[in-house]
Structure formats: structure tokens, C-alpha cells
Structure 1
Amino acid sequence: MSTSVGPAARAGQALGDAPEETLPEETVPEETVPPSLRQVLLRGAKGSLQAALAISVALQASTLGLFLPRWLKDLLFDGGGFWFDTLLVWALIGFCWALLGRLWWSFGAVAALALVLGVVTLVKIPLRREPVYPSDIDFLREPGFLTSMVPLPLLILGGLAVGGVLVAAARIGRRMQQRWPRPRLWALPRRQALAVIGLRLGVLALTGVMLLHAFQFNHQGNAWRGLYEARGESWRYWNQTTNYRSNGFIGGFLYNMPTEAMAAPTSYDAEVMARLADRYTAAAERINATRDGSLADVNVVLVLSESFTDPTELEGFELERDPIPHTRALMARTTSGHMLAQMYGGGTANMEFETLTGQSLRLFRPQMLSPYQMLVPGERDYPSAVGWFRAQGHRAVAVHPYRVGMYKRQQVYHRFGFQEFVHDTTLPGARTIDDNPFISDASAFDEVLRQIDDSEAPLLVNLVTMQNHIPVTDNYPDPIGVEGVSGGQAERIGQYARGLEHSDAAFADFLDALDGADEETIVLFYGDHLPGIYSSDTQSANDGLRLHRTPFLVWSNRAEQNVVREVPITSPAFFLPLLYEVADAPVPPYLALLDEVREHVGAMAQGRLLDTSGDPVQPEDLDDETKQLLADLRLVQYDFSIGERFAVDRMWPGSVVTNP
């Protein structure tokens, strides 16, 4: 029996994905009435807003902020972060809907993105006490590193979950379409079709502008940032997990979008920098007048030992033996002390950057989370100790027994001017210990010895080890015993301590080999940060600086230079002048400036400023001389990093290697 198709039926087809076959009259429910275009749009707007609320809740939950009344009150009532987050998610859903023309596909795409961000945050916070950042996208280029940090089954499960969200959204969308068909342009009356096209283009343009403006969050006068700051300045850059909890997950994420490394100091110009160069040239001359040593024919080895710390300094557990006896003995007869680590559980490249450049992350904008990823690769060249030592006749070699792409080291080392980069695939005789997947410290030290033996010129070697990188579980069959904790916590600490023991022995053997060599060598050794292995209870028991202190020492194979001296807690930005002091070698004006700052400020990091006794101090409480030194250092750092480099040639001659 044929059925005629009237205007109402044609309108129903116009809202579906495709014309449906006409069903027999007796199977068509009388109450099924195709919704109007207006109803479809209103239902979509309401549903997308509900989805945006749910996604915002899920993102905030990933920081655990929804489970702490303090943060919940701060987020929902005292400020508007959560509601602005929701508005942005709604705009993103609207953009996808206007672009794709399918509401549920848009729900699925945005929910899948939120799932990825939320899961990464849940994994990252216990390891590094920080949420996901925009710059973390760089790690997608290193899938091997991701699988080493996160178990492969968890990554697979995460991938399946994302796929499941997309498939579920598509299936739900098909079922919903039977009840609420979407507009089909080809079947709508001309006027309605033009109206739908105009509406989609308008929504696409409006939401696109909103999202683009959000990505310019750190530009001056940004409207989105103004909304988030409506209750007053509230960004907690010194604790990013807190920042995300109190300002909204998306607000915190956008706050960390790339921006200029530094704001231009108001007094910055060529004349001011010339006066600074004069001032610190005179300071260098005063220092050098009392120094008789030289590094001209001396090998300089900078050793960043991955996650090398002293776990016996922590409260909450006891080890059955000291894992670093050799290093402890060395510290007792050399210039040594503790370094202020910027982060817990991470920040290796930042500590390396400060050591090689003398530049402090504290003087950059808080959003400059990783100069290796966000600053140096964008420059043609960059002032560093590499160029300075090359100008003094040294050959510069970087050794890092891992992938070249991590923290964009290959590009960074090129900008600095390293002449050779030895990494995981070019390290001769690379070895591992037991079931540890990372190349051993002993292999890395052997490569440094080989480089010294093979080079006629004195060397600058920058070694960054990998042996003690997390994860540490099941690396060794004989972990050090641990008391005071149990289960997985005891296993992780015991395994980590056993790795330290291997590192301690390898470092002692390395120095023994140098001690018997004819060539003069000076070694700076330091740990970069604590490993992200400790439970929340252990972390809570070690407040203050305990989770941000690592040991360092400066050793020379000239016995007379190894003067016993315990240095107050310091920053890696001050390591170079300290090394020159141990060598009794003359310094350039830039290191003279760093040395003067070190005499007034013990250590610096984002959110932390310590005096020479290691006590926290507020910038406004500093004396006038210290404030002036920090202002001078800020000017020089701006000039060297993103400024015109007016003073580089005078204050640190040769530090810039011109790259082709």
C-alpha cells in the first residue's frame, strides 16, 4: 500500500540524516511528530551546556580539588573559575557542532580531549606534584619516554577509553537522531536552509573568536584573563596544582600558555647596559686581582645526576644502610652543600639550563615552565658556558644516555654550541644494571673518560645521567631494606636507594680514574630533584625545603684545591662562579655579577627566595643593595635572553656561538 508524503513528512525527513523508507501505516506511532528546527536547536544548546558542566566537573576532579572543601568554596563561590571554565567548554562544543554539524560527535570529541587531560593530570600529580601543561604536548614526540613513565597497559587502557568515548558518542548520537533528527540542508526549505547555514557560520565565527582569544590568555588586556581575575589577582604560580584547583582547571591551563619569557625592564636600553658592563667589569677586576689559578688547560666536567638525593635526610622511614657513603665522604672534604631544586619529581632540564646559562627561572615569567622547550629552540643561538669555554680553547661535548628529543635537547645543544652530542644510540658500550631499562651511570662516566683520553684540547663535558629516572620498581633483585613504611612505598624507596648505591660507587670510580690522570680536571656534581616515588604521607612529613634539596659538590684532581667548605643552600644559576672560586680562576664580568648576587641571596626559584642562611625572605624585605643587584641581574638576563644583547660581548665574551 503506497503512502503519500506530505509537507510534514518532508520536514521530518529534512531533519534526519537521510530520507527514511516509508513504514507501513500500522507501524507508525501516532505520537511521533518531527521536532521543529527551533526545538532541535534549543535542545542542542541545552544539552551542550549540560555536557560542558559535566566535563568541567570531571576536569576539576582530576586535580582532586572537588574533594577538598577549601578549594570547592574557593572555586564555586569566592571566584568564578569553574563557571568560566564551563563557558569555555561550551564554546568549544559549540565550535565543533557548528563545524561538524553533529552534536553528539562534538560531545564525544570534547569529552575525549577532557579525558586525556584529566588522566594525564591524575598520573602526573603523584609523580611531580603538578598538573598537565600546554608544553607537555612536546612529549607526544617521545612515545618511548611515555611508555617508560606510564605502564604500557595503562596507556592502552587510556587509548581504549578515549576510543570508547568516541564510539559511545557516535552510537548515542545515531539513536538520538531517530527521536530528534538534525537539520539536513538539502531537504530544508530554501529559507530555512539559508538560516541554518547562517547560524552555523555565525556560531563558528563567534566561538572561534572566543577560543582564539582564550589561547592569547597571557596577552595584555585579554578579556578571558580579566574575567578570571575579576576577584583580584589569584594565580598561584609557585604551586600549579593549587593554581588549577583555585582558578579552575582550564583557567590554570591557559595561564600556562606560552608567552614572552620576560617583561622588558623599564630602564632597559644600550646606555644602561653599557653602565652595567662597566660596573661588573670593575667587579671582575677586583675578584681577579687575588686569583692565581686558571681553567685554560683544565677539563671541566658538569655532572647532573638524575634524581640523586640523600634519602636519609627525609622523615618517615629508615634505610638499613647509607646508600651514598662515597659521595658523603667526598662532600666532607670538598666545597659542597645543597641545591634548591625547582620542583619535586621533575625539572631536570630547568636545573641544567640554570647551570649552563647562569639564568634563574625566578626572573622569567611564571609561565616559562621550560626554557628548553619554550625559549631556547626559538633562538638562533643562546649565551651559555658552552660558548665561553669554547672561546677559552675548550672542546664542548654533551653526554646524555637517552633520547635526543627529550626536552628538545638536540636543538638546545645546537643553540648553545656543543660540538658533539653523545646519546643513547651513539654511546659506545652502553650497559644497564640488572633489570633497570636505563643506561647505567658507570657507562656514562666511562664515556666521559674516553672523551678526555681522546681529546688533545681541554674539554667542557656536560653529562646528564639517566640511571635513577623513574619508574624504579623491579629494577634490582637486591633493594635496600626500608623500615617505617610498607608495601609498594617500601619497594619503591628500597629500589631507588639501591640505584643510588650503584651511582655512588660509579661516581667514586670515576673520580679515582681522574685522580690518577695527568690532565687536570675539575668536576661539578649535583642532583636535579627528588624522585616522585614518595607517598602523600611521606611528603606531608617532609614540609618546607626537604623535598626540594639535593646534594652538590665541586671536586678537583688537584688536591690543594679541595678545601673543605660547606656552602649554604644555593641555586644552580650560581654554580659557575662557585666552580671558578674553587679553581681560583679569573671570572668574566657576568660571573662576577652572579657571584655578588650569590653573596646576598642564597637561592632563588619561582615562588621561593632564600637568604644566605637558607631562610625564606620576601623581596620587599631585602636591603637596598640586594634589591639593586637583583635589578641588575634582571636587566642582564633580559638582555641575554630575549633582549638586544647589548652587553653580551663585554660581560660574557664568546658565550654566543654563531650557528649556521
Structure 2
Amino acid sequence: MSSFVLPDDGTTEEPLDAPAPASPPLAAVLRRGLLGSLLAAAIAALVLEAGTLGLFSPRWAKDLFFDSGAFFLDTLVLWTVIGFLWAVLGRMAWSLALVAVTTVVVAIANLVKMQYREEPVYPSDTDFLREPEFLSSMVSPVTLVAAVLLVVAVLVGVLRLVGRIERRYPRPRLRTLSRDHVLLLLGLRLGVGVLTGVLLVQAAHFNQPGNMWRGLYELRGNDWRYWNQKTNYRSNGFVGGFLFNMPVDAMAKPQGYDADEMSAIADRYERAAARINAGRTGSLDDTNVVLVLSESFTDPTDLKGFSLDHDPIPRTRARMAGTTSGHMLAQMYGGGTANMEFETLTGQSLGLFRPQMLSPYQMLVPAQRDYPSAVGWFRGQGHDVVAVHPYKVGMYKREQVYQRFGFEDFVHDTTIRESGTIDDNPYISDHSAFDEVLAQIGEHDKPLMVNLVTMQNHIPVDGNYRDPLHVKGADGDEAKRIGQYARGLEHTDEALDEFLGALQKSPEKTIVLFYGDHLPGIYGSSVKHANDDMALHRTPFLIWSNQPGQNVARPVPITSPAFFLPLLYDVADAPMPPYLAMLDMVRRHVSALQQGRLLDAAGDPVKESALDPEGARLLADMRLVQFDFSIGQRFAVKRMWPGAVVE
């Protein structure tokens, strides 16, 4: 008697000992694989486009499908990936399953990142895979569980679909094929593997001159909207935008760059520094220098669309009114902490790098033996140099970056003296972080340069505090997030005031730069639409000294972190090196600088082509010096910023 089982697709029963379905002709299998993989690539491209939230907008749909044809090019790239996987694995169904699951994971990650940081997934984001705990903390447990369930559901669904396809269209068994057909199939796999492999290598070098893929994307003209990566991905397709951000040299070699030109620039700014320093009577040689990047510290009362029941930062506002202060132009909304820290410590601007240089901490500094920075400069001036960041050492490769800069000590989450938190906030409090700085100052005999990057106000902020501020004008979860965030700011405001008060009583000379790095990614569409782009990229800063006469009310036009160090030297009335003299001169013509945007001396937008001749020359000099210091031959480092490189 024959045994019967019910197939999982519910079709007619078949005996277990029934003969296997006859293998279809090889040509039919290849034709089905060709068309099926192309359809799968198109579906994967659609899923990725939807992950940018632009697919359903008529404007972006028109751009993707009709004007630029980016969707079809994205499909072609993904089809190439599927072809390569088939050539390697030998199973089309497995290749499709792998691409399907990867596509869903990337699309979910992109949606989450767009929500919190207003930017898409970049190739450099793969570094964060080493920090799964941090990634999981960025989303609520409900969202994380839903995402995992969705990925599992897609995986199960794809595997079931693969099973049905392989039962309905079984692969030809090699032993049933003629020798000529076997050789044809193996040769085809080899040929497809070589061809697709070459094409994928080309894709990996997307930004190299003459690249084939980039040429296809630019057939309609160059429309890379690097100043707004969200728009860039929506206009050029997710895959196109992703490839545009593949690794590339940090800067193009500026015209005229050579040893003679850099010597002439060094001469020019040595003379400029001598003129600036001639009337200065202060010094930082015996002064502690504390640089504080306060995570997500902003002034929410500057924003329209809601109101708080009271001002969360009155003490900081009062300090700002009595010293050099103003607002900084943040590079990003919801992120970019390490980039603002990089600009502050190096005086180099992200706006002068290529737009693909999204994170120098991940993409530039670790690959070098050393790197010019304020760390080396102050160390060479007799300071001890310490970094404090109450979080994991791997974030943004800080451990490697701090070593390249020349920090002598790095205090992090497991080595900090105090690790106190407030209420249910999982991050170490600003009060604990400031206490660490005070302890470092107290135990060092030499003057100290300390770079503190706090964590208390990092997102997510949901449910951190038991007494959030009351919010009017916003509803639901958004109001709760704003109230929680504002309460965190109030804790920072109190901690900063206590910290400066302690320094005021200290016999040691100390100067402090305090700045917020970006707005948190907590605001909904109504608040974003109620505010212009500048308001969403503006954070407070102040420079305060405990020395009599140095805190003079001086409002500064909106600026960039690259110009903080010259401002600090101004407050101290201290002589500055030629490099900082150059940055100070640039700031007086270009108050702020970022990718796609320049602000003039008054803080108003201006095109580079519209700068006055002196401003244009100064910016050109800054570009040459930045190339020289970053990836050039460093002809001018020893003359313009002596000691900036720790050898």
C-alpha cells in the first residue's frame, strides 16, 4: 500500500513513492530565473524607495520613474547583486531570499533613521553594527519587536515561496543533463559571476572619475543634492544615493597646492598672527581649557509650534548674556555629534570636504597615523590632555580617533568616577560628567585641556523623568517627548551652573567652551513645518572664564564649531598661532560654513561666488590649509599650528 501525505500548499495528495516531477528544459529554467530575478529586483527597489518615505509623494514618484529613471537604475544594480549571488550560490531561490531579507532590514533601518535624524542610511553606518546595544536603545521596545517580527515574517514567507517555486519548477539535476549542457551551465555561472563581480566592483568605486554606474545615473545631468541627503536619496533613488556616499578621498586637490604655495600661506598668516597678538596681554599657558559638547542641548523656546510652562535653561541664558555667546549652525538635525566635535578640535569644516565625507571620525581620522588638532597644540603648550565621554569607547571609533589626536587619557562609561543617572534615564548624568572634570582638574598639577562629550540628553527621551515639563500646542506622544526632553535640559542647566560656580571658587585659572551639537530627533511634522531650516539647525554656545574682566557681553553672529577656538582665544586675550588667526579672519567674512550653505559676517546666507574678494581669498586659503592638514603633505602644519601633530 502506498503512503500519502498532504502537501503544505493544500493541493491533491500524492503518494510518497511517486516519481519526482520531470525537470524542465534548461532554457526554460534560465528564462524563468532571468525574469523572476528581474521582478524581484524591481520589488526590492520599490521597498527601498518606500523606506525613504518619498515613493508616495507625486513629486518624487515623477522624478524616480519618469524624469531621472533612477528607479530603473536602482533595479539594474539590485539585479546585478542577485546575479552575482546566483553565480556564487548556484541557487536562484536562495539568492532571492537573501536579497529580500536584506532589503527589508535596510528599509526598516532607513525608516527609523529618517524619523530620528532626518537622514538616510549611509555605507559608513555599518560601523554601528559593532554597537548593537546602542542601536537597540535608539528605538522603543515595541518598535524593535515589531521590526524583528516583520523580518521573521518576511524570512518565513520567502522561504515558503522558495519551497513552492522549487517544487513547481525543480532545478535540472546535473546528472540528468548532457555533458554539453553541464558545461554550458557552469560556463554561464562563471560568466555571470565575472560580469556581475566587475559591475559590483565598479559600484563600490562609484565616485571615481569615469565610473560607469555614476555615468548612467548622470545621463540626465548631475543632480546630486548633497546638501540634503534625504532629498538626494529621494531624487536619485535609494541605491543611487547610497552609492553616491561610498568612500572617497576627503577632498579634491585644490588648484595651486604645492610646497611653495603652502609656504607663502604660512608666511601670510604668521604676519597676521603677529599683528593680532601684538596687543594681547593674556595667556592660556597656565589655564585649564574645558571644551564641553552637551548632547542635544538646545533652546526649545526658540521654536514655534508649542510652548513650555517655564524656561528650562534660565541659568545658561543668564551666563550667555554676560559673556561671548551666540548660536552654532549644526550640520544635521537629530545627529552629527562626532562631526561637531571634529570641527571644534581640528578647526576643519565639513563644508570644505567632499559631501561623501559624512563622518571624519569613521572615514578619515582612524586611517591615519596621527592628525592635527587642538589636543596636540595644547599638549605642546604644556597642558595635560584628557577626553571624557560617559559612554562606550567604540561609538564613532572614538578610541582610535582620540589616540590619533594625542589624548593621554580617555575616561568613559566604565572608568568614570561617578556613573549616577536621574530617575529612569539610562544615560550617565551631566552632573556626574562635570564632577569628573572637576576631579581631573584637581588631580593634575599641570594645566589641563579636557574635552567632555556628555550623554544625558541623548534620545530616546521617553519616560526618562517623573516630572516632565508641561507642553502646550503639541499633542500626544510628541508633547510627552518634548516635556521629557525639556526636563533633561533643566537638569543640564542646573549642572552647568553648579560646575561653573565650582570653577569660579577654584584658585586655578579655567576657561570653558560650552555648546550643543544638534536638535534632538523628537519633533513631529507640525513643529518642523512651523520653523524654518535655520531654526532646526541652531544650538546655543558660550565661552566663560573664571578670570576677572574676561567675561564681557559679546553676542556673536551664528557660527560654526570650526571657529570656536579663535573665539576662545579672544575671550582669554591670548596670543594665537597662525592657523587660528586664519580661522578668525575667515570667520569675520564667513560666519558659518557647512555643505551647501555659507553665511556672511552678519549671519545671512550668501553664495561663495558672491563673497567679497578678501573673503573669497581667505576661504580659498582655508581650503588649501585643510587639504594640507587632512590628506595632503602637511607642508604648513609645523609653521601654522606647531605641535598640533603628536609625533
Q: Which category of TM-score, normalised to the shorter sequence, fits these structures? A: over 0.9
CA distance in 2, matches of 1:539, 1:401: 31
Alignment of 1:131-142 (within 5 A): 131-142=120-131
Q: Does residue 1:326 correspond to 2:315, yes or no? A: yes
User: Which residue, 371, 375, 399 being the options, matches 1:410?
Assistant: 399
Counterpart in the other structure of 1:356: 345
Are 1:508 and 2:492 an aligned pair?
Answer: no
Query: Does residue 566 of the first structure (1) align with residue 555 of the second (2)?
Result: yes
Is there any run of 5+ residues in structure 2 with no aligned partner, and where?
3-14
Native 8 Å contact 2:388 2:452 kept in 1: yes
Amino acid at match of 1:331: M
Cα separation, 1, equivalents of 2:151 and 2:481 = 30
Does structure 1 residue 113 correspond to structure 2 residue 102? yes
Match of 2:18 among 9, 14, 23: 23
For 2:507, the equivalent position in structure 1 comes to 518
Aligned pair 1:92/2:81, yes or no? Answer: yes
Contact residue 290 and residue 511 of structure 2 kept, 8 A = yes
Question: Which of the residues 259, 276, 279 maps onto 2:265?
Answer: 276
Contact residue 25 and residue 172 of structure 2 kept, 8 A: no
Which of 291, 306, 310 is the aligned partner of 1:317? 306
Per the alignment, in what secondary structure is the counterpart of residue 203 of structure 1? helix
Match of residue 636 from structure 2 = 647
**Counterpart residue number, 1:367:** 356
Shift of 1:157: 3.8
1:161 aligns with 2:156: no
Tell me the secondary structure at the aligned position of residue 398 of structure 1: strand
Partners of 1:602 and 1:611 within 8 A in 2: yes
- Three-state SS of the structure 2 residue aligned to 1:199 is helix
1:437 aligns to what SS in structure 2?
Answer: coil
Match of residue 452 from structure 2: 463
Separation in structure 1 between the aligned mates of residue 17 and residue 506 of structure 2, nearest angstrom? 93
Structure 1 residues 492-503: aligned runs within 5 Å: 492-503=481-492
Instruction: Return the alpha-carbon distance in structure 2 between the equivalents of residues 51 and 495 of structure 1.
Output: 44
Alignment match, 1:551: 540
Kindly indicate whether the alpha-carbon contact (under 8 Å) linking 2:50 and 2:56 is maintained by their aligned counterparts in 1.
yes
Q: Which amino acid aligns with 1:79?
A: S
TM-score (norm 2): 0.96
Divergent runs of 4+, >4 A: none
Query: Does structure 1 conserve the Cα–Cα contact (< 8 Å) formed by 2:100 and 2:158?
Result: no
1:627 equivalent in alignment to 2:616: yes
Q: Which runs of 5+ in 1 are unaligned?
A: 3-19
Match of 2:27 in 1: 38
Q: Distance in 2 between matches of 1:580 and 1:204?
A: 59
Tell me how far 1:378 sits from its aligned partner.
0.3
Letter in 1 for 2:69: G
1:22 deviates by 5.7
Q: How far apart are the structure 1 equivalents of 2:477 and 2:297? A: 21
Q: Deviations over 1:425-449 (max 9, x none)?
A: 0001210000000000000000000
How far off its partner does 1:656 sit? 0.2
Separation in 1, partners of 2:297, 2:610: 33
The correspondence for 1:528, drawn from 514, 517, 540, is 517
Residues 268-313 of structure 1, C-alpha deviation per residue, up to 9 Å, x if partnerless?
1111100000000000000010101000000000000000000000
Asked if structure 1 preserves the Cα contact closer than 8 Å seen for 2:323 and 2:553, the reply is: yes
Distance in 1, Cα, partners of 2:230 & 2:371? 31
State the 1:153 CA deviation.
Answer: 4.5
User: Structure 2 counterpart of 1:116, which letter?
Assistant: V
Does the residue aligned with 1:602 lie in a helix, a strand or coil? Answer: strand
CA distance in 2, matches of 1:559, 1:148: 44
Alpha-carbon separation, structure 2, partners of 1:112 and 1:178? 21
Out of 223-232 and 166-175, give the one that drifted further: 166-175
Match for residue 149 of structure 1 among 128, 133, 138: 138
Q: Which amino acid aligns with 2:482?
A: I
Equivalents in 2 of 1:153, 1:266: separation in Å? 53
1:161 Cα deviation after fit: 3.2
- Equivalence map 1:371-390=2 (5 Å): 371-390=360-379
Given that residues 262 and 364 in structure 1 are in contact (C-alpha distance below 8 angstroms), is that contact kept between their aligned partners in structure 2?
Answer: yes
Say whether the 8 Å CA contact 2:329–2:558 is kept in structure 1. Answer: yes
Identify which of 111, 117, 123 aligns with 1:128: 117
Give the match for residue 183 of structure 2: 194
| Match among 185, 201, 205 for residue 212 of structure 1 | 201
Q: Distance in 2 between matches of 1:537 and 1:183?
A: 58
* Contact 2:24–2:172 (8 Å) recurs in 1: no
Identity, % of aligned pairs?
66
Render the CA deviation track for 1:625-654: whole Å, top value 9, x for unaligned.
111111100000000000000000000000
Aligned positions of 1:420-439 closer than 5 A: 420-439=409-428
**C-alpha distance in structure 2 between counterparts of 1:525 and 1:636, whole Å:** 26
Contact residue 105 and residue 166 of structure 1 kept, 8 A: no
TM-score (normalizing by structure 1):
0.95
Count of paired positions: 635
Instruction: Give the drift of 1:156.
Output: 4.1
Question: Deviation at 1:155?
Answer: 3.2
Aligned match of 1:301 in 267, 273, 290? 290
1:72 corresponds to: 61
RMSD: 1.4
- For residues 332 and 601 of structure 2, the distance between their equivalents in structure 1, rounded to whole angstroms, comes to 20
Letter in 2 for 1:560: G
In structure 1, which of residues 474, 488, 500 is the aligned counterpart of residue 463 of structure 2? 474
CA positional deviation for 1:621: 0.8
Residue type of the alignment partner of 1:462: N
* Counterpart residue identity of residue 394, structure 2: G
What's the CA shift string for 1:532-574, capped at 9, x where partnerless? Answer: 0000110111113000100000000013100110000000000
| Distance of 1:381 and 1:306 partners within structure 2 | 26
